[in-house]
Structure 1
């Protein structure tokens, strides 16, 4: 198995890490794979495969799309890896600096006393760790995978005041908070793709007039995003139980999207992404 094929398998099988961590894992893996001087045929297979796994994670789809753009440019085989190295260097630097920039942009706008969040997001965790340790953080358990417990554990390990609550308590926890912070696997004109529980937090935030803030690097922004299946079924004690891992929260419910480039309202972000979509060439589009 080639190094690119091994990387694709590793990324595909990671069902625990947040999208930012998987993205960093991907970039590091690609950097290592370049040492093996992959052939153009391997890049074709890798980009095709990457576009079919974790389709809800915008950064991965952006990387797959960038590789396909290079492939369509008919770059000579002996120069192709050099072009890949160039765009990887830029992506790795931007991703390295993004968390601190996002945290700074958040703190310039908000100084909460109590925050509610959901699931696990490396970007959200980084921003929470930048906040004062006096800030209280409540984390939804985020079943079926329960990633909220990991977020809480990391906050407690960092000396912060954090607790976990059952997903059914989202409305009451939002009502007691000053601010709702969530991450994103992707942001497209249709909305914010994130773990289940995000939409209920957004609706509760609207009802109780709390700011609902999405934190993500610009790598998560994508004009067209093909979605994974949202729902599935599991057998629990002989019963079929519907469950989902991801859902879409409309940008109309978002107070602000805070990125490494700055802050936009949900409506402003939607306009930006729709404008980007209108500029896309048919050959660069995926079905959304």
Structure 2
């Protein structure tokens, strides 16, 4: 009978945590593995317990649970492995006696190390795919772009021919057609690599590291623009906005519910755990609450070459309200969200979510909308506030990245 065990990958940015097993453990000393342990009872509960015991992490977010599989090891046992993937808030870990050393590494490093049996198979069961990137409606576009780079890197590590990698790159560019940052970062990784799988693997990881830095610096620059603001309005979900507001630590944050989708509710709940005074309001009430704030800070799905910002529906109302009340309106995003070309804004919300009656009427339930640059005080990236010429120049550069084919 197989012994149930969990293998738990802890991810931060593009890297995962690997642990070198100490000489004191009963199996596989000196080999590298993920957080692991026996799964007595519920494997999900065991995964969180092992994260706490072996890494000192109790607040990681579950990303994916893979299908279990069996590993037959005549020297030890037959293991029934339950793979898990969690996202960590930071890289601070506290290992116990079972670990001799630990490293944050690119996941494809698993294939080059002396590891516990079938560690790559465990990672393969939970790693992102083109399909999971396309289906991700829970995270902001910067996060999704990192996962797209993960896919490109992993598939390049597995590929024998460049043509197979190129096919994956094309699929990723099409996976989120509305997210310019996904397309830009995949294109850059391909543009900067020689036409070999190994070169793409290295390039994808390098671009991902740059992307993490760019997102962090964009948040810092946005925080600089908000210096002195005691009440800030925001809507929808943006990792860059979240990081900027946590840096500013205003007295009050007002968050619109952001329907359809309602992701503003989770955003408001998240800020409430920080001790900031948080108000969740309806989308219809946005003009009134903006007038009582010192600044508006929102993210962007894309910034078009002419300075138009595409973001969650409701952003234009907030921008108009800010202009009417004399409240500055800032957009915070990495420069990789600047699109290389103009594009239409798709009204792709489910009409039945708005009206499922029998009347003969048309229904519009858009998710995104275009906000003219004239309504915004600044688009703030890792390079600081951008002028119209800056945006056009950045768009030209990203257009060249698409020439990798």
Q: Same fold (TM over 0.5)?
A: yes
Q: CA offset at residue 52 of structure 1?
A: 2.2
SS at match of 1:241: coil
Pick closer, same or farther for the CA change 1:250–1:143 going to 2, 3 Å: same
Please state whether the residue corresponding to 1:112 is helix, strand or coil. Answer: coil
Equivalent residues of 1:99, 1:126 under 8 A apart = no
In structure 2, what is the Cα distance between the partners aligned to 1:50 and 1:67? 12
Aligned match of 1:48 in 156, 170, 183? 170
Residues 208 and 68 of structure 1, relative CA distance in 2, 3 Å threshold: same
1:208 paired residue number: 325
**Kept after mapping to 2: 8 A contact 1:99/1:127:** no
2:260 is aligned to 144
Unaligned 5+ residue runs, structure 2? 1-123
State the partner residue of 1:272: 390
Shift of 1:161: 1.8
Is 1:130 aligned to residue 263 of structure 2?
no
- In structure 2, what is the equivalent of residue 101 of structure 1? 217
More strand by share: 2
Aligned to 1:91: 207
| Distance in 2 (alpha carbons) for counterparts of 1:143 and 1:18 | 15
Post-superposition shift, 1:282? 11
TM-score by length of 2: 0.61
Higher mean alpha-carbon deviation, 116-125 vs 26-35, is at 26-35
Give the 3 Å change call, closer, same or farther, for CA 282–217 of structure 1 in structure 2. closer
- Structure 1 residues 157 and 28, CA gap change in structure 2 (3 angstroms): farther
**Matched ranges for 1:1-288 at <5 A:** 7-37=129-159, 39-66=161-188, 69=191, 75-76=194-195, 80-110=196-226, 111-132=228-249, 134-190=250-306, 191-227=308-344, 229-232=346-349, 234-235=351-352, 236-238=355-357, 241-264=363-386, 268=387, 270-277=388-395, 280=399, 284=403
SS in 2 for 1:101: helix
* Runs of 5+ consecutive residues of structure 1 not aligned to the other structure: none
1 CA distance for matches of 2:400 and 2:144?
28
What TM-score do the two structures reach when normalised by structure 1?
A: 0.83
Determine which structure has more spread, i.e. the larger CA radius of gyration: 2
Partners of 1:214 and 1:175 in 2: CA distance = 18
Judged with a 3 Å threshold, the aligned counterparts in structure 2 of structure 1 residues 156 and 173 are, in CA distance, closer, same or farther, namely same
- Count of residue pairs brought into register by the alignment: 271
Measured after TM superposition, the shift of residue 21 of structure 1 is 1.5
Give the drift of 1:237: 3.4
Per residue, is there more helix in 1 or in 2?
1
For residue 196 of structure 1, report the CA deviation from its aligned partner.
Answer: 0.6
1:234 is displaced (CA, Å) by 1.4
Deviates more, 1:29-38 or 1:245-254: 29-38
Kindly report the root-mean-square deviation, in angstroms, between the aligned alpha carbons of the 2 structures: 2.7
Larger displacement relative to structure 2 (139-148 or 21-30): 21-30
SS in structure 2 at match of 1:244: coil
The runs of 4+ residues in structure 1 deviating greater than 6 Å are none
Identify the structure with bigger relative contact order (alpha carbons < 8 Å, sequence gap 6+).
Answer: 1
* 1:142, distance to aligned residue in structure 2 (A): 0.5
Q: Deviations over 1:14-50 (max 9, x none)?
A: 1121111211222233333333235323223222222
Deviations 1:154-173 (A, max 9, x none): 11122222121000001001
Q: 1:104 to 1:187 in 2, by over 3 A?
A: same
2:174 aligned counterpart, secondary structure: coil
